[in-house]
Amino acid sequence: MTTLPTLLVRPMREAEIAIVADSIKEMSQAQIANRWREQLLGYREVLVAELDGAIVGTVSMGVVGGSEPTMHLFALEVAPEQRNRGIGSSIIDHVISEAQQRDCRSVYLEVRVDNPARRLYHRLGFRRVGPSFVNAWYQFNQDGTRTRIEEPSIRMVKRLASNKHPATRSKTKS
């Protein structure tokens, strides 16, 4: 877990589903509940950022790949009234250090081509890879329906230096 001056990034608890939805506002409770279900199925880990006891952001992450594992960072959201204070950057830093601890060689994400968050990712060392593509996902609505969202997006990747001590690495190989 990362403890910045007063920001704590930690796993979300099931009892916090409604609180996260209330904080983020743009996301329904059904959407956050679906994230929780996907976590139970092993598709993601849902984290929250807590500032002075209040939940102010969330992110999901998951390690993919076998011999060259990479960390997928997605569903990053900060409460509207808390934006532009560095919270999003701190959440991303936390995911990067989690990736390093889990021996991932990179962190990647998908972002809408017109999302200003691209600047934030670039500032933190993420670089575009490949052509734009249509990212499709389901938005879960509070009335029990779901809406298929299709967003023109790009993938951005941040390469990580190996966290392993060279001596440890050669020992493992021998």
Alpha helical stretches, state H, the chain = 17-24, 29-40, 87-101, 117-123, 166-173
Q: Does 87 bind ligand COA (CB under 6 A)?
A: yes
Write the CB contacts of 79 (distance below 8 Å, at least 6 apart in sequence): 23, 24, 25, 55, 56, 57
Q: Does 120 bind ligand COA (CB under 6 A)?
A: yes
At its nearest, how many Å lie between ligand COA and the CB of residue 12?
A: 16
At its nearest, how many Å lie between ligand COA and the CB of residue 8?
A: 15
Q: Judge whether 47 and 94 are in contact, CB under 8 Å.
A: yes
Looking at beta carbons only, is 80 or 162 nearer to ligand COA? 80
Q: Which stretch binds ligand COA (CB under 6 A): 12-20, 40-48, 70-78, 135-143?
A: 70-78
Which residues of the shown chain bind ligand COA in the complex (CB under 6 A)? Answer: 76-78, 83-89, 111, 115-117, 119-120
